[in-house]
Structure 1
């Protein structure tokens, strides 16, 4: 058996896979990305153009480079004062083809020959496709989808950057599927839950019991209302009108899942019906109109939008239940589901634009939108990849739960992990797991619960037994805990950390569990990453690296570092307790004491 040899082999050309390759290449490693489709870039290249992040400065490093390149593209193409630059929101909002160009540029910046990318390379998640000696992966077997031949690839370290956790599962890493009940980790939003959008309350039918349900997938659509760049929605061959008829009553009654709809009575609903049939728009609180009834839309440059599932609707672009087998199914089943989901999505849009039972002015409002014809030109303007929000959750050294993202006390931080490899911040957030049910206020499983900027420990992507595997996407967590980690900025940051960790594993001739965490963190900080978030610090600040290290050890527990303030007595006591020293601090600003503090701590560590 001949195997192509690399230092690091990455399965999955997702954003995390790309950042892993770049980070390892910066450390001098020869990297290979194996991607099943014809295009790398994952969801940002397939419609997710409105970045899901709550606190932008919480996640930096290569992710920040990506958004900066997006902004630079619009500046170069249209000028600094152009509407496109403004609409890009500093590069956090971008068109799919711009994301693809930014990723290509980032790979090129790693240096010639450092990163190889092979597309149409399929890994099938079965043990026979992984060659192991004990707990070490020697090589993997890949199908070349263009030639039909099998290929073998060996590496010193493998990185599973798939959305599904395919390589980790095939290598024997245990994993979780579905939802834990509230009895397992006592998490908010655990298990079966029916909740008014956005923050509750929980209603009839909620049991908080665990099950095997997987949150819904959809396509993130790139739509436009620019007639010069608009492709019409075509009725799919497998169109089934009955799937969409519930939309008619939803439009006429104004039914929606917003908490503001809860006090609406039958008289208001009938009045709204008469209003709409008379040619007016809905007057029901929380009720979107036109295409917004089907899609939640965020503006992108050049009159485009990122069209996601409409969380206020009981019928939208998500297709719950039917995706449950996806995480553990083979590619033949997944491809069939992808076709089914595309047909469903096209059918929903076509119904909204053309079904004559719907009010004409509603249909006309929907008809002004279509697919952007300058995107996915090889796929008729339709995205090429399903949005797999959650697949397997591979079990690692640390299981991330909701409590890792929630403040320990009101106004305070979540737990701070000394092994943090990135800070991150997004709400605990899950889409529905079941289709609409009679008398339910929302789809089962939909929730959004506030969190605070948190630290992500290295252990979420480190297996307990396999020596040379990392998984920065299908990370270790409960369903609720994973629901905040699953955003592309966090995944990209974890990918960057995985790439550096892979290099350290090779350089130190140890397992991924035994690498020197301090060197991993030092390298991340040298490359502009953020390991713990502060309201008053940026990665470009002079003392940023030092404060990051000290904060992870407990020296700066507040949200502000307040470096120009004199050291107060309570903080002084804390520092002396942590260092077991008597540091003089009377009348001195914190900024002046940082070097002393690092010296004292270094002496204790040694």
Structure 2
């Protein structure tokens, strides 16, 4: 902090060297978290600038992640739900309500990359008088690029990648919406990379773990901490439509050794699924003979053709969201080589991005052409190629690496797996009164190491169940920087972050960050000291769900009351059961919790709704 303060006095006299602009919110990163922050702040009357390093905003949903990662769809609403509804409406308007495209879009949760980008742009255009989007603007996490005074960011320096010149942006509140956490790091917020050990927070899957996919942990699991970072890949938009298919070309720096072990996996059927526990060497040799006779694999859990190297989810117009195949040893992830990414320069990151692209192109070329693979396997793989009408200015290849995890900051609240796991069987995870969204996805991490001899799977490729949880405001709030929010590189352990990192949750946290920024400005207080009740009221106004109930959603007339009282302990179960008569035990509990007499209400006769409405009117 002292070093930055000294820089301030020097740079105050040098501002004429840079183009300057001032906004209410300065948002670094044009991914969905940053976009939703700008939109929610605009609805509060605040002006934002989004500074995006690439030529396009939208992050991963505009770069192949079209199969939305959310386990309980009604858990996360607000601007995320507006996005989903916009996707569905696009397919209805374009192809008709009874079209195959509408069916394949799965109510708007599955979409083509170009459609995701289109809907984000439409949402931004709805607030174009208050949101400025500037692309090709790069922030580098260096001391000279951030000017701070008295624990506040005053302005930042950004490289205009088109002109090569530096620009300065000042604002009342700054948001780090990067996948990497570059702005927060430059501001001196403490962060973590790597994996915590199980001894630190008692989390399932923490540390070094080898686990069958869908099965138990295996030999070699030590659960000890290390510096490993989960792997990245590209989410590919593939098609088997010949009229829209572009074949994979052999990359110039093709290295067959990257993929050679796949050959034996194909012939024997070896995979990493839990079914492999029942597979013997004799069964694999029998499978080899079966394949040699011209048949596909018959081994349990095994995949054939393109599915052996990538997991496919179908989206409209005969396209896919093709992700890493979690049941194999070699797929589109590239473990180990990405470990430096979170804290590296953009020069290093760009080199890795190119390496990852060539690795991915080589993987598909190998599966479709290598002569040591069965001919009918290669034929099946060749049915697929890149979609000709996506990413037309980038060789039909996604423009952005899927950075699953960058820096994880240490904020006012540190989220762990225990915040997403039910306290008792069938109950909820801990309820955070300061919740800014409900969310739900498994505790899910991709591999951190490449294939190792004798292991049942790749180290760190894990998934453990969770339940719908609440996300406290403190996960995106630094302890000391007074005007910075971190809605994407949030505060949490490796395992805790593994569920928060899904785009619906990032969108919801971005929405909350935009509102919190507006309140900080209006109330003239630090982001740490905003009125949380006002934040939650405004989130509910924007149809966000703060606590999920199975029987009351954001369209219900009692939604606001249920959200408020639910977070304060009145409704700890999954159902609010508003129309049921209140029982004596619940009436007594609510009297104690509210401090109200609640006379005139009779157990077994008065509905729970009537009692709750009375409490809400008295205490709200």
- TM-score of Structure 1 vs Structure 2, range by shorter chain: over 0.9
Q: Which residue of the partner structure matches residue 597 of structure 1?
A: 615
- C-alpha displacement of 1:499: 0.2
Conserved in 2, the CA contact under 8 Å of 1:6 and 1:30?
yes
Q: How many Å separate the matches in 1 of 2:412 and 2:379?
A: 54
Which residue number in structure 1 is paired with residue 536 of structure 2? 521
Cα distance in 1 for residues equivalent to 2:411 and 2:503:
20
Instruction: Indicate conservation of the 8 Å contact 1:8/1:29, yes or no.
Output: yes
Aligned with 1:418: secondary structure?
coil
CA distance in 2, matches of 1:85, 1:139: 45
2:321 & 2:70 partners in 1: Cα distance? 15
CA distance in 2, matches of 1:571, 1:403: 27
What CA deviation, in whole Å up to 9, does each residue of 1:464-506 have, x standing for no partner?
0000000011000000000000000000000000000000000
Q: What's 2:447 paired with?
A: 432
For 1:267 and 1:365, locate their aligned partners in 2 and report how far apart those are by CA, in whole Å: 26
Q: Could you tell me which residue of structure 2 aligns to residue 233 of structure 1?
A: 248
Deviation for aligned residue 1:601: 2.3
> After the TM superposition, which residues 52-131 of structure 1 pair with which residues of structure 2 at under 5 Å, given as runs?
52-110=69-127, 112-131=128-147
Contact 1:176 1:393 in 2 (8 A): yes
Q: Secondary structure at the residue paired with 1:125?
A: coil
Local SS of the residue matching 2:108: coil
The number of residues matched between the two structures is 600
Distance in structure 2 (CA, Å) of the matches to 1:262 and 1:127: 52
**1:583 and 1:452 mapped to 2: Cα distance?**
33
How far is the alpha carbon of 1:123 from its aligned partner? 0.2
- SS of corresponding position for 1:33: strand
Q: Is it true that 1:36 corresponds to 2:53 in the alignment?
A: yes
* Counterpart for residue 380 of structure 2: 365
> How far, CA to CA, are the matches of 1:191 and 1:322 in structure 2?
19
**Rounded Cα–Cα distance in structure 1 between residues aligned with 2:316 and 2:114:** 12
Moved over 3 A (4+): none
SS in 2 for 1:90: helix
In 1: Cα distance, 2:88 partner to 2:334 partner: 33
Structure 1 position 161 matched with structure 2 position 177: yes
Structure 2 residue ranges without an equivalent (≥5):
1-14
Any idea what SS the aligned residue of 1:324 has? coil
Contact persistence 1:38–1:119 (CA under 8 A): yes
Question: Which residue is 1:175 aligned to?
Answer: 191
Which SS does the other structure have where 1:371 is aligned?
strand
TM-superposed CA distance for 1:168, in Å, is 0.2
**Matches for 1:118-267 after TM superposition, within 5 Å:** 118-198=134-214, 200-267=215-282
Q: Alignment partner for residue 538 of structure 1, among 549, 553, 578?
A: 553
CA contact (8 A) 1:127 1:172 kept: no
Q: Among residues 460, 468, 492, which one is paired with 2:483 in the alignment?
A: 468
* Separation of aligned partners in 2, 1:235 and 1:11: 36
Tell me the distance in 1 between the aligned counterparts of 2:596 and 2:83: 43
Partner of 1:490: 505
Cα shift readout 1:62-114 (whole Å, capped 9, x = no counterpart): 0000010000000001000001001000000000000011001101112x421
Note the C-alpha offset of 1:582: 2.1
CA–CA separation in structure 2 for the residues paired with 1:556 and 1:400: 23
Take 1:580 and 1:188, find their aligned partners in 2: how far apart are those partners?
Answer: 39
Computed over aligned residues only, the root mean square deviation of the Cα atoms, in angstroms, reads 0.7
Describe the superposition over 1:172-198 as per-residue Cα deviations: whole angstroms up to 9, x where unpaired. Answer: 000011000011001110000000002
Distance, in Å, in 2 between the alignment partners of 1:183 and 1:590 is 43
For 2:498 and 2:258, the matched residues in 1 are separated by 28
Q: The residue matched to 1:70 in structure 2 has which SS?
A: helix
Distance 1:25 1:127 in 2: 30
Q: 1:551 maps to what in 2?
A: 566
Structure 1 unaligned blocks of 5 or more: none
Normalization by structure 1: what TM-score?
0.98
Q: 2:346 pairs with 307, 320, 331, which one? A: 331
| 1:239-294 alpha-carbon deviations (Å, 9 max, x no partner) | 01111110100000101111111121111110000011111010100001100000
CA distance in 1, matches of 2:183, 2:593: 42
- Secondary structure in 2 aligned to 1:221? coil
TM-score for the superposition, normalised by structure 2: 0.96
CA distance in 1, matches of 2:450, 2:548: 38
Counterparts of 2:280 and 2:396, CA distance in 1: 42
Query: What's the counterpart of residue 578 of structure 1?
Result: 593
Shift of 1:594: 2.6
2:538 match: secondary structure: helix
What SS is found at the alignment partner of 2:527?
A: coil
Q: In 1, distance between residues paired with 2:137 and 2:618?
A: 52
Does the residue aligned with 1:262 lie in a helix, a strand or coil?
helix
Separation in 2 of the partners of 1:181 and 1:547? 38
Q: Which residue of 2 aligns with 1:385?
A: 400
- 8 Å CA contact 1:194–1:440 kept in 2: the answer is yes
Deviations 1:424-478 (A, max 9, x none): 0000000000000001000000110000000000000000000000001100000
Matched, 1:355 2:373: no
Q: Distance in 1 between matches of 2:49 and 2:201?
A: 38
CA distance in 1, matches of 2:606, 2:123: 43
1:513 aligns to what SS in structure 2? Answer: helix
Deviation at 1:338, TM superposition (A): 0.1
| C-alpha distance in 2 between matches for 1:424 and 1:32 | 27
1:455 alignment partner, SS class: strand
